Amino acid sequence: MSTGLISQDTIIALATSPGANGAIAVIRLSGSKAIALVNEVFKGKDLTKQASHTVHFGTIRDGESIIDEVLATIFVGPNSYTKEDTVEISTHNSAYIIERIITLLIKKGARAARAGEFTLRAFLNGGMDLSQAEAVADLIASNSAASHQIAMQQMRGGFSNQLKKLREDLVHFASLIELELDFSEEDVEFANRDQLKALIQQIHAVITKLIRSFEQGNVLKNGVPVVIAGKPNVGKSTLLNALLNEERAIVSDIAGTTRDTIEDEININGVTFRFIDTAGIRHTEDVVEAIGVERTREKMKQARLIIYLFDPTQDHISGVQEQIEYVEGLNIPFVTIINKSDLITDAQKEEYAVLNPIYISAKHQIGIEELKEELLNQVNLSNINTDDIMVTNIRHVEALQNTQEALEKVLYGIDNPITSDFLAMDIRQALHHLGEITGTVTTDDLLENIFSKFCIGK
Ligand code: GDP
């Protein structure tokens, strides 16, 4: 473990979001001098003599001037988030008060905390492993029931517990094989190769499952990218508005006026769908329009789900089939929608029946609930159990993939005549990559990279 990031300073930051409209703000200090520093400016009980996890009313004073009436909550290390002495000062939420209190405490000897420094300390002091610390950031950012549940589960260690167990099993074998190296003259095998092979295969299977969970986990965390496509004027913007229930996209009678792609989100039963409205797909000579169309193709390829709209007042069944063939060629699940159902004739309805479409009217908000249900069906989340261990972090997936490669080398090594020292090396390599996830193996660069993405105060 690197130590360059460990600092003895007592750090201070606003823990609540700056500028928010709430009644109360919380200023947090962590470090060996946290309690004594606050005590110097706090008039009330002697905070240095109070038990952990107690709250005290008093005033914060700069000399004789009272800055605010506050509540100070005392956490005595190691029973705190950072494992250090920590004080949380609840003040009235005034930018002026906050600034004065922080400035005062910095004058007394605290240092302004860097981004993510509280959580970095929690990690460095053993309060949590790296994947748990990363989950804290995810938890704060979570905006749906599903992403919240995954982050919560990861923060509570579900994900890293499974990896720790795998790592321990591997460490055991690595040491047996390294022992063989000490006896290399005598040609002994402490590590039973069949057992080793069985273990590696078992770990390989678990990691494969974790890597696969990434796709689903990512969907739950970041939302399902959905493209609404179809020719100009079929009603894409109107549908987007109906789904978002707000007038966000520009609706117009002039074909092709929705030129820019607009991204927006809705939440259906805890699953986030990210909509990308587009200029529609069609061949065109118009340069500006062509950019929009090009972009539509690109967006459609990025989508995990396409809502393809037809307009019975302008689309004839032959043209419809041509467009459907194109969309099918993309190999992305799509929902066929006939919009403007208020204008459809019985004859057209018969024609369209072969497509098994959903009929909606975006303008009159008919069939929207049915469409939403179909969206949920299409992403098939019913078989995702958010209690399952799920990988949602690209850094973790990369480490798992590297682990997997090393494990495959080990398997090759067992079946082929390679020497124990090479086998041991490959196992160490797998251990290294597994350790990167939990933070057993880490560098200052990696930590700075992870924690700099946090906000100050976290
Ligand atoms: P886009 O170019 O695909 O984004 O199409 P718009 O959303 O701009 O809609 C084009 C025109 O069709 C507008 O005049 C809408 O009011 C109209 N429209 C959209 N949906 C419906 C519908 O369900 N019924 C009827 N009658 N008109 C609709």
pLDDT in tens, the chain (458 residues): 444 666 789 999 999 887 767 889 999 999 999 999 999 999 999 999 999 999 999 999 999 999 999 999 999 999 999 999 999 999 999 999 999 999 999 999 999 998 888 988 888 888 777 778 877 777 777 767 767 777 777 777 666 777 778 888 888 888 888 877 777 666 667 778 888 888 889 888 888 888 877 777 677 767 888 888 888 888 888 888 888 775 444 444 455 544 444 457 888 887 888 887 544 433 444 445 555 566 667 777 778 889 999 998 887 777 888 888 888 888 888 999 999 999 999 988 888 888 889 999 999 999 999 999 999 888 765 445 555 666 777 788 888 899 999 999 999 988 887 777 888 889 989 988 888 877 776 677 767 767 777 777 77
The answer, yes or no, to whether any atom of ligand 1 lies below 6 A from the CB of 252, is yes
Measured in angstroms, how far is the CA atom of residue 242 from the centroid of ligand 1? 11
The answer, yes or no, to whether any atom of ligand 1 lies below 6 A from the CB of 235, is yes
Q: What are the DSSP E strand ranges found in 239-382? A: 262-268, 271-277, 305-310, 334-338, 358-359
Residue 288 identity (one-letter amino acid):
V
Measured in angstroms, how far is the CA atom of residue 271 from the centroid of ligand 1? 27
Closest CA to 325 of 281, 259, 275, 276: 281
Measured in angstroms, how far is the CA atom of residue 353 from the centroid of ligand 1? 22
Using the atom order of ligand 1, give the atom closest to the CA of residue 343.
26
pLDDT, position 247: 44
Q: For a pocket test of ligand 1, which of 237, 238, 264 has the largest count of ligand atoms closer than 8 A to its C-beta?
A: 238
The answer, yes or no, to whether any atom of ligand 1 lies below 6 A from the CB of 259, is no
This complex has an ipTM of: 0.99
277 forms beta bridges with 228, 262
Q: Is the pTM of this model over 0.95?
A: no
Give exposure, 266-278, as e/b (b: 16+ Cβ within 10 Å). bebeebbbbbbbb
Task: Indicate which residue's Cα is closest to atom 12 of ligand 1.
Answer: 235
Which residues contribute to the annotated binding site for Mg(2+)? 237, 258
